[in-house]
Chains A and B, each alone.
Chain A
Amino acid sequence: MARSKSAPLEPGAIPWLLAAALATAAPHAAHLPLWLSLSVGAALLWRAWLWRTDSPLPPRALLAVVALTGVAAIGWQFRTLLGRDCGVALIVFFMAMKPLEMRTRRDSTALVMLGFFLLLTHYFYSQSIVTGLWLLAATTLLVAALIRLHGGGQPARVIVRDAALLLAQSLPLMLILFLLFPRVAGPLWGLPQDAHAGLSGLSDRMSPGSLNRLIESGSIAFRVEFAGELPPQTSLYWRGPVLDDYDGLTWSVPPSGARPPATAPLIESRGKNYRYVSTLEANNQRWLLALDLPLERPAGSMLARRFETLAREPLRTRARFAFSSAPDFIANRDEDPALLLQSLRLPAQLNPRSRKLAQSWRAQFASPQQISDQALRFFAHNDFIYTLRPPLLGQNAVDDFLFATRRGFCEHYASAYVVLMRAAGVPARVVTGYQGGELNPVDGYLTVRQSDAHAWAEIWIAGRGWQRVDPTASVAPSRIERGIDAALPASDPLPALVRIDSDWLRELRNHYEAANNRWNQWVLGYNPQRQRELLSRLGFTDPDWRNMSAALATLCAIALTIVAIATLRQRQRATPAQRAWRRFCTRLKKQGMAREDWEGPLAFAARVAREKPPLATICFKAASLFAQLHYGTGTPAQLQELKDCTRRLPSSWRKIR
């Protein structure tokens, strides 16, 4: 009964609704199965054709069959009907089916609501600036569709203008809500399994070729804002997983790696300390990639026994962390013997030549430091080449690398160095993370990309603790000093964003990334913590939800009042004749003759004639002209004459007595 009461849908509104459905559903084609995107397109086209030919809608029974088939197919495709991606697929499918049974205005309103909901689902996949702009465009279109539904047939231009006006008036209010609406940290309930698919970063194991996949990606790993000056480029080692287990092929984090240490690690700074805030992109890992080595960590994080900074939970969203680090350090002069033993372990049978070489060094040199220097000299003096496209290695990977191929990148050098050191009886381990970073002069942030991924080594020397050694530096010093772009031959694959030669392109990229960073920091990264920061900067010393809600309500009310005044206050527009007459009267006022509001033009002229006879002629002329223009049928020539009268009035400084 209620359904029959709703107004029937005007055919003229259908193109608007179809356009809205298309705009909200189309971008999902990028990650939906092809068959679904095609059927959605076909359903919308079908509806458009029905509208063109003014044909009746398909029977409900047929639609029910199609809808059930579609839902079953989606369930089969995703093997569930619950997950996030599956939910999106279902909404997109309904968005295409709904127009086929849309008969009333109420149906169409439901379609627009579905469109609003569908807009939200895009942010599961991207929240970039472009998506943000597209949000505005798509919302305008949906609002325009609503205006077309409820405002009747007007020209498309008028509808879009009205929608844009509505949006423009809403933006200040949205800004207030965005900044002051009390934020709650999610999630409120368990997220589906597929909620964090497709996040990339370092892993807890390093097998040949695993790191160069990362290096070939130009995407940003994290951005760092230093409180003062930047440390030198050569000490920008961002510490990730420490790999202490070696099986001859793969280096991996020992199972005990994530456990808290029995005794707190002891780190002493020997030089300058640096304070900074890192904004890490989501990577679904726990390593917080502090600058080697961290002295102060963010609350809630933990320093593991191998000095990795670990978050409590894998990082599912971009987040900010404040650190203080000492690039020049002494760490754990006294180390747990079990840990040192672990750092000496090697697979027994493998790499005989390397072992022999290392043992000869051990006999030759007294101190571990000398052995390490010898190893680095070995790399420097034997035509080793730094390349991202190394040849494949055999079962004795380190032997093959050291004595045959001699081509590789950081993971090969770090791995071979650590094997040599362990064979020579020096505790050593592989550290992975990022090295370097590029300062963006636009906003002063240091940008660290996946292509800055790096592997280096650490050795332990009695009395001096763990020391960082980067064997790659002895082969390709430019890698450490100027970044991977400088170290690699031009033929090696590197993302275009990393290898930019022309200055203006680089500047463009810097501006783009700085804008992105600002977007990330202030729009996407606007969380409860940032909100508190902003509020305390605005003078709310102790913002709790009560005074925040009060401030929010007040500001919203003020913004709405301003919009209401601008919208509702409407002065009647004066006609050109009224304006000209008013100007004439203003000019007369300066001569001391003010017209009363109730005075008609001719009565006023008569009064002027009595009180200031010299002005009588011109006043009578102007008054009669205005009377004809306003009350009768005036001509443009008369309007011009009225304006001339104003001009012929004596100026104020020549007062007529």
Chain B
Amino acid sequence: MSIVDRLKPWLLRFGVDQELPIVLTQRRIFIMPTASGLLFAIVLVVMLLGAINYDLALGHALVFLLAAIGLVAMIHTFRNLLALRVTPGRAEPVFAGELARFTVHLENTHRQARCALELAFGKNETVSINVAAEGRASVGIACPAPRRGRLDPGRITLSTRYPLGFFRAWSYPHPPLSCLVYPQPIVSPLPPPGAAAHDGQRYGEQGEEDFTGLRLRQPSDSPRHIAWKAVARDIDHRPLLVKEFAGGAAPELWLDWSATPADSGIEMRLSLLAGWVLAAEQGGAPYGLRLPGLALAPDHGDAQRDACLEALALYGAQ
């Protein structure tokens, strides 16, 4: 670890920004000439020598004009970031191995547009965006998600070379961002229904075909089955009711940790389960998930799928 590496945390000691929105103040903006800025400086020196040698008054004027433009452009590069407001947005969960996209909202309170802002996490893919004068824009910044769990992409590198590319101004806003990363699913045949099912709760006779009546809601009921209309009729005086259906033919399906091969690693077993969740959701029948220390009652639909995948993603966390 070199001295620079040691000093970095101290130099860039902002850490996660707790106060939102993050306002890019002058203290947080860095600016340096770029390679083309240095090339420009060299060209100017050569031009100045030519103007002196041939005694060209307009040549002097041109060189001085260009030098002045370079300096003024520096101010504009800085201006392009100054007082920009950054607010973190949502990040949709992804499967491990995919690219996570973190939405970030940018707000420009100035009367001039912000052009060609470039956002990236570290050295990852850069997205470019303009924010209109007194406008807002949202942008999804990509970050690879190699492992399941909660992904913390770290600080954002927000940079710009506008207007002339001679200077690069950058800042490191670090909003609290996180994205849920599901295990990478492995496609494999579903375990036979009921194979690993425990006795206890029985939902076997129920389906969704025929409405039979209402009953009081139990905590394990899916929110999809709540009789919202009935609830809405008399919101203050009645407990939540759940619609009951009869005639569902599908037998209940339990996706069980113990059904996965015990000799494979944890990640592999979670991946298998994730694959099963997807397959079961596609099958349309209710399914439950059982992990060591956790069980999700059988149900189906996007909410159930997401709940199961989240449980898998966070398995073993804390």
A interface, CB within 8 angstroms of B: 105-106, 109-110, 113, 116-117, 119-120, 123-124, 127, 131-132, 135-136, 139, 143, 146-147, 149-152, 154, 162, 166-167, 169-171, 173-174, 177-178, 181, 183-189, 191, 195, 316-317, 523-527, 556, 560, 563-564, 567-568, 570, 572-573
Contacts and interface: CB of A to CB of B under 8 A. Distances in A.
A316 B46 CA distance: 22
Interface string B43-77: 10011011111111111111111111101110110
Contact of B82 (A151, A173, A186, A568): A568
Contacts of B67: 173-174, 177
A526 B75 CA distance: 30
Given A151-B116, A166-B72, A568-B82, A178 B62 contact: no
Contacts of B245: none
A150 B165 contact: yes
A178 B61 CA distance: 6
A109 B52 contact: no
A15 to B, nearest CB: 18
Given A146-B163, A150-B161, A177-B68, A119 B57 contact: no
Contacts of B62: 116, 119-120, 123, 135, 139
Nearest to A175: B64
Contact of B164 (A150, A171, A188): A150
A151 B162 contact: yes
Nearest to A114: B43
Given A132-B58, A563-B72, A149 B165 contact: yes
Contact of B83 (A150, A189, A570): A570
Contacts of A132: 58, 61
B109 interface: yes
A171 B65 CA distance: 7
A106 B36 contact: yes
B223 to A, nearest CB: 32
Nearest to B47: A120
A174 B64 contact: yes
Contacts of A152: 115-116, 128, 130
A191 B53 CA distance: 8
A106 B165 CA distance: 10
A171 B46 CA distance: 21
B52 A186 contact: yes
A562 to B, nearest CB: 10
B55 A187 contact: yes
A123 B54 CA distance: 9
Nearest to A565: B75
Contacts of B64: 173-174, 177-178, 181
Nearest to A561: B75
B252 to A, nearest CB: 51
B40 interface: yes
Given A113-B40, A120-B50, A143-B164, 10 more contacts: A117-B43, A120-B56, A136-B65, A139-B66, A173-B67, A181-B60, A183-B60, A191-B54, A527-B55, A570-B112
Interface residues of B, number: 50
A106 B39 CA distance: 11
Contacts of A570: 83, 109-112
Interface string B142-173: 00000000000000000001111100000000
24 contacts: A116-B62, A120-B47, A120-B62, A123-B54, A123-B57, A123-B58, A139-B65, A146-B165, A150-B116, A150-B165, A152-B116, A162-B163, A166-B73, A166-B163, A173-B67, A174-B68, A177-B64, A177-B67, A186-B52, A187-B52, A188-B53, A191-B54, A524-B58, A560-B72
B158 to A, nearest CB: 16
Interface string B197-208: 000000000000
B243 interface: no
B139 to A, nearest CB: 13
Interface centre among A151, A183, A568, A570 (most CB of B within 10 A): A151
Nearest to A162: B163
B209 interface: no
A208 to B, nearest CB: 37
Interface of B: 36, 39-40, 43, 46-47, 49-69, 71-73, 75-76, 78-79, 82-83, 109-112, 115-116, 128, 130, 134, 161-165
Given A113-B43, A150-B162, A188 B49 contact: yes
Given A150-B164, A523-B61, A173 B54 contact: no
B43 A127 contact: no
Contacts of A177: 64, 67-68
Nearest to B161: A150
Contacts of A124: 54, 56
Contacts of B56: 120, 123-124, 127
Contacts of B53: 186-189, 191
Contacts of B161: 150
B75 A567 contact: yes
B68 A173 contact: yes
Contacts of A556: 71
A317 B109 contact: no
A120 B110 CA distance: 37
A120 B165 contact: no
Nearest to B112: A570
A170 B59 contact: no
A195 B54 contact: yes
A512 B62 CA distance: 23
A317 B55 contact: yes
Nearest to A146: B164
Nearest to A163: B163
Nearest to B46: A117
Given A174-B65, A568-B79, A113 B39 contact: yes
Contacts of A567: 75-76, 79
Contacts of A173: 64, 67-68, 71-72
Nearest to A556: B71
A116 B57 contact: no
Contact of A169 (B49, B72, B78): B72
Nearest to B48: A181
A524 B57 contact: yes
A327 B39 CA distance: 58
A174 B40 CA distance: 16
A167 B69 contact: yes
B42 to A, nearest CB: 9
Contacts of B165: 105, 109, 146, 149-150
Nearest to B162: A151
B75 A568 contact: yes
Contacts of A187: 52-55
A145 B68 CA distance: 17
B68 A170 contact: yes
B57 A526 contact: yes
